[in-house]
Structure 1
């Protein structure tokens, strides 16, 4: 089978290669999944660079890349109740390949006819759903999103609109091909064209109410300014670090505003889905499959086109989610 793998820790643009390897064998508690789609995510790049904590470290040499995807069960072990032919999504290992051997407890079954490109990135709306909950922002309050055009941010925006939350996406520059206002943004801040400081801009938009939450995918100086724009008791949720720059805060920026800063670790990073996750996963999956739920896909690629796919995801995340289609 074809697979994209790596033998060394390093930049995805340098260490990935396409190879023919054997179809993996399965154990009694595993399923052999014929992959149909897989997303390319910032977390995949952290994995390839060896930046994730244990147990999310690659096993070298010959680690198959990719952590999220979807496929159809071809064969199951003796202890697996799921049936061959079932479409499943999962967060595990080795999704950038024709086949993956996955412990059945990690698999999320999806209904027949579910759009495979959306199935392959199901972990993104799950993460967006959880980020919104972690922000603690309530209907009528204000939430800021950095990397406003990213897949995660546009999904948070659409979930927030359904809950009556006011959202301010921050973007490096406005794009003519996607109007975030159509997705529910109360206002969009174009950082390339800003004439006032971040806090002054936020206060003008919110009528001096300030932000009740920030979901940050970027980092850098803007993050510090957003923390200083929080209403008392507001919360910063850190989900990524696209910027190489750091942000600076004084203790009083946190202490005197009652601010909370927390990290978000995506669901199923350390442990598989639980039985009681079923209802919320079905709700998220049904919302995500709706035609009116906007999903900015930047490109769909065969595995053979991995250099372009990874390059676009690495260098041009503003283009939208890059996908592999097997």
Structure 2
């Protein structure tokens, strides 16, 4: 089978290559999945650069890249209840390939007609859902989301709109398309066209300030946003697209009762549990609806991995890059 591999730690631009590898065999409790689609995510690049903690580490030689995707159950090992032919999504390992052997406990069953480009990126709506919950912002309050054009951020906006939460989409530069206000943003903070972030936020919120921040970027703007938090507000850190740091004084946190916390994908260390099933069904249902906008920037065969990687790194505004097999 074809797979995208790497043999050393480094930039995904430099170390990835396409080659043939044996189709994996399933053991007890495992499922052979014929991959249908797989998304390209910032976390995949962290894995390639060996920046994740244990146990999420590559193993050489010929580590298959990719951590999220979807496919059809082709064969099952002993003690597996799923039936061949079932469409499943999962977050695990080895998704940038034509087949993957996955422990059955990690699989999320999907409707048979679920759109492939959505099935392959279920990590994103699950993350967006959890980020919004973790922000603790209530209906009528204000939430700022950085990297406003990213897939995660546009999904947060749409979930927030359904809950009556006001969202400020923070962007480096505003574009005509997609229209973030159509996706649920109440206001757009264009960093290229604003002199004072605090002043702009306070004006947008009518002086109320922010009740929560979901930050995918970092850098000086994040420090400025923290200083706009209302009493008891919090920042949830989900990424670090900027190489720059932000600075705070203790009083920036202490005097507003602010909280800064990290978001860890709920299935990073452990698989779904039975108690998660109702929430997962709700997320799958909402995410699969035609009215839920998904910015897909490119659908590629595995042979176009260099283009998919470059677009993900350089043109996040295009939307999610997807492999199809």
Do residues 204 (structure 1) and 203 (structure 2) align?
A: yes
User: Deviation of residue 185 (structure 1)?
Assistant: 1.0
Residues 128-167 of structure 1 mapped to structure 2, 5 A cutoff = 128-167=128-167
Partner SS for 2:187: coil
Partner SS for 2:181: helix
1:266-302 Cα shifts (integer Å, max 9, x gaps) = 1100000001111100100000011110000000000
User: Deviation of residue 317 (structure 1)?
Assistant: 1.2
Q: For residues 316 and 116 of structure 1, what CA distance do their matches in structure 2 show?
A: 22
User: Deviation of residue 111 (structure 1)?
Assistant: 1.1
Bigger shift: 183-192 or 135-144? 183-192
User: Deviation of residue 155 (structure 1)?
Assistant: 0.1
Give 2:81's aligned residue: 81
Do residues 112 (structure 1) and 115 (structure 2) align?
A: no
User: Deviation of residue 315 (structure 1)?
Assistant: 1.5
Give 2:168's aligned residue: 168
Give 1:47's aligned residue: 47
Q: For residues 60 and 198 of structure 1, what CA distance do their matches in structure 2 show?
A: 46
Do residues 216 (structure 1) and 215 (structure 2) align?
A: yes
Give 1:229's aligned residue: 228
Residues 276-291 of structure 1 mapped to structure 2, 5 A cutoff = 276-291=275-290
Runs of 4+ in 1 over 3 A off after TM superposition: none
Q: For residues 76 and 83 of structure 2, what CA distance do their matches in structure 1 show?
A: 7
Q: For residues 313 and 177 of structure 2, what CA distance do their matches in structure 1 show?
A: 20
Residues 262-273 of structure 1 mapped to structure 2, 5 A cutoff = 262-273=261-272
User: Deviation of residue 175 (structure 1)?
Assistant: 1.0
1:53-104 Cα shifts (integer Å, max 9, x gaps) = 0010111111100000000000000111100000000000000000000000
Structure 1: unaligned runs, 5 residues or longer: none
Instruction: Give the root-mean-square deviation of aligned CA atoms.
Output: 0.6
User: Deviation of residue 162 (structure 1)?
Assistant: 0.2
Give 1:325's aligned residue: 324
Q: For residues 138 and 299 of structure 1, what CA distance do their matches in structure 2 show?
A: 35
Q: For residues 317 and 16 of structure 1, what CA distance do their matches in structure 2 show?
A: 20
Q: For residues 59 and 314 of structure 1, what CA distance do their matches in structure 2 show?
A: 24
Give 2:13's aligned residue: 13
Q: TM-score, normalised by structure 2?
A: 0.99
Q: For residues 139 and 176 of structure 2, what CA distance do their matches in structure 1 show?
A: 29
Give 2:304's aligned residue: 305
Q: For residues 171 and 157 of structure 2, what CA distance do their matches in structure 1 show?
A: 13
Q: For residues 269 and 82 of structure 2, what CA distance do their matches in structure 1 show?
A: 22
1:30-71 Cα shifts (integer Å, max 9, x gaps) = 000000000000000000000000010111111100000000
Partner SS for 1:131: helix
Structure 2: unaligned runs, 5 residues or longer: none
